[in-house]
C-alpha cells in the first residue's frame, strides 16, 4: 500500500521538479550551494523511490520484515519535509 502512495507522489514530484528550475532565476543563485543542494535533493526522489521499492521487496522476499519496513520509509525523507512545508505555509 505504501509503495502505491509513493508512486502517486511521483505525479506531485514531476510538478515540483519542473518548478525547481525556477530557483535559478536569480543570477546569483548559480553560485549558491544551498540552492544546488535543494535542487539535487528534489531531483533524487526517483532514485530514493526505486531504492526503496527494490530494497523493500528483496528484504520482504527474504522474510526480513523489519528491514522491509525500514526500506519502505526511505521516500518519507522527501515527503515529510514537503508536507511540513505545506502545513507551515497554510498556517502562516
Predicted local confidence at residue 58, as pLDDT? 95
Q: What's the pLDDT tens digit per position in 51-61?
A: 999 999 999 99
C-alpha–C-alpha distance, residues 33 and 59, integer Å = 36
Helix (H) or strand (E) holding 45: helix 45-61
Q: What's the pLDDT tens digit per position in 57-74?
A: 999 999 999 999 999 999
Shortest CA distance to 57 belongs to which of 71, 39, 43, 47? 71
Nine cell digits for residue 17: 521538479
Q: Does pTM top 0.75 for this prediction?
A: yes
Amino acid at each position: 500500500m505504501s509503495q502505491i502512495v509513493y508512486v502517486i507522489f511521483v505525479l506531485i514530484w514531476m510538478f515540483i521538479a519542473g518548478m525547481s528550475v525556477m530557483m535559478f532565476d536569480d543570477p546569483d543563485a548559480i553560485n549558491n550551494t544551498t540552492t544546488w543542494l535543494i535542487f539535487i535533493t528534489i531531483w533524487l526522489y526517483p532514485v530514493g523511490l526505486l531504492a526503496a521499492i527494490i530494497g523493500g521487496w528483496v528484504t520482504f522476499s527474504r522474510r526480513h520484515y523489519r528491514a522491509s519496513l525500514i526500506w519502505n520509509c526511505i521516500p518519507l525523507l522527501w515527503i515529510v519535509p514537503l508536507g511540513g512545508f505545506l502545513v507551515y505555509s497554510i498556517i502562516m
